Amino acid sequence: MDFDKDLQSIQEVRWLVAKAVVAQKELAKMSQQKVDGIARAIADACAAQSERLAKMAVEETGFGIWQDKVLKNLLGSAITWDSVKDMKTVGIIKDDRQNGLMEVGVPMGVVAALIPSTNPTSTTMYKSIISIKAGNAIVISPHPNAKNCIIETAKVICEAARKAGAPEGIVQCITLPTMEATDALLKNRNIGIILATGGEAMVRAAYSSGNPALGVGPGNGPAFIEKSANIPVAVKRIMDSKTFDNGTICASEQSIITERCVEQKVVDEVSRQGGYFMTPEESEKLSKFILRANGTMNPKIVGKSAQTLADMAGIRIPAGTRVLVSRQRTVGKDNPYSREKLCPILAFYVEDGWEEACRRSIEILNNEGAGHTMTIHSEDADVIREFALQKPVSRLLVNTPGALGGVGATTGLQPALTLGCGSVGGSATSDNVSPLNLINRRRVAWGLCELEDLRKQQEQMTGVSAAPQSTFGSGSHAGDSCGQSSVFGSGSNAGAACGNSNNGAACGSPEITEDDIARITKAVLQKLGALN
Positions marked catalytic = 250
d(CA 277, CA 32): 54
Do 61 and 246 touch, CB atoms closer than 8 A? no
Amino acid occupying residue 346: L
Do 494 and 478 touch, CB atoms closer than 8 A? yes
User: Rg of the chain's alpha carbons, rounded to an integer?
Assistant: 30
Alpha-carbon torsion angle 411, 414, 416, 418, nearest 10: -110
Rounded (10°) angle between helices 120-133 and 66-74: 0
Amino acid occupying residue 273: Q
DSSP state of 480: G
Closest by CA to 246, choosing from 176, 170, 323, 175, is: 323
d(CA 301, CA 431): 29
Do 320 and 342 touch, CB atoms closer than 8 A? no
3-state secondary structure 412-425: CCCCCCCECCCHHH
What residues form DSSP beta bridges with 373? 395
